Amino acid sequence: MAKLLEIDKVRAGYDAINVLWDISLTAEEGKLTCILGPNGGGKTTLMRAIMGLIPLRQGAIRFGGKDISNVPTWNLVADGLTMIPEGRMIFRDMTVEDNLLIGGFTRRCRANARANLEMAYSTFPRLKERRHQLASSLSGGEAQMLAMGRGLMEEPKLILVDEPSLGLSPLLTDEVMAILEQLKAQGRTIILVEQNTHKALKIADHVYLVRGGKVVLSERKEDVDMDRLHDLYFARDVAANRQDA
């Protein structure tokens, strides 16, 4: 299988602090790559670095073989690489419908915008009920749906999804996982960050565990040993919980 995205010894962070330490990871075309890891491990930061929202301090990222380390975010999106961020990153001052429509901003998708809009509405009927409401009035879960629906407007080749189940009811979490599986079936490549290990593993092809800004485990889904995974999580928790003991 072709490697659609290759991350090669990347370092990145915020002003004074570095978060990612020489992280390397690949995503194969048409597969769902799942990134797990404890909180504050740098998963979101990694996604932001891939998308060019924060600069790389070292290392390189290739998309379809092409170096994209310094390509601005909007050009990446035009090339079919996209990220569905957490629900707080919706356009709060715009209506739900405008939020969705702007998801289809790239020239590639403009023609299909109306059709995609209907698709998003049929996936999340709740959004249709709220279409003329300001996004800021949505509940936490509704905002999460909006972020997801907006991402679906973009027709990307590779989607990075950051904790899509955050704040969603169990029923909707299942729904979202089903959507991701469907996208995979359409041949799209997905990188999924998820805390709901259980549900994520069900649809994953490959698993990475990121902790402290480093990859500590990289395995095909079939090879994942749940106990070992837990131990790797714990490694940090044990240290952090010293005081409680």
- Residue numbers of the site for other proteins (CB under 8 A)? 14, 36-40, 44, 51-53, 72-74, 77-78, 82-83, 85-86, 88-94, 98, 101-103, 105-106, 110, 126, 134, 136-142, 144-145, 150, 154, 163, 166-174, 195, 197, 230, 233-234, 237, 240-241, 243-244
Q: What kind and span of H or E run contains 11?
A: strand 3-14
Rounded Cα–Cα distance for residues 32 and 183 (Å): 10
Q: How many residues bind ligand ATP (CB under 6 A)?
A: 20
DSSP string, 55-111: --SEEEEEETTEE-TT--HHHHHHTTEEEE--GGGS-TTSBHHHHHHHHT-SHHHHT
Q: Which is nearer to other proteins, 2 or 245 (CB)?
A: 245
Rounded Cα–Cα distance for residues 4 and 42 (Å): 22
Scan residues 10-69 and list those touching ligand ATP (CB under 6 A): 14, 17, 19, 37, 39-45
Q: Which is nearer to ligand ATP, 40 or 64 (CB)?
A: 40
From the list 138, 151, 190, 143, the residue with the least C-alpha distance to 168 is 143
From the list 161, 180, 162, 83, the residue with the least C-alpha distance to 123 is 180
Q: Which is nearer to other proteins, 9 or 170 (CB)?
A: 170
Q: Which is nearer to other proteins, 57 or 110 (CB)?
A: 110
- Site for ligand ATP contains 72 (CB under 6 A): no
- Site for Mg ion contains 165 (CB under 5 A): no
Q: How far is the CB of 140 from ligand ATP (least distance, A)?
A: 3
164 contacts: CB under 8 Å, gap ≥ 6: 84, 144, 147, 148, 176, 180, 192, 194
Q: How far is the CB of 124 from ligand ATP (least distance, A)?
A: 12
Residue number of the CB atom closest to ligand ATP: 141
Instruction: Answer yes or no: are the C-beta atoms of 99 and 93 closer than 8 Å.
Output: no
Q: Which does 237 bind (CB under 5 to 8 A by kind): other proteins, ligand ATP, Mg ion, none?
A: other proteins
Enumerate binding residues for ligand ATP (CB under 6 A): 14, 17, 19, 37, 39-45, 130, 133, 137-142, 167
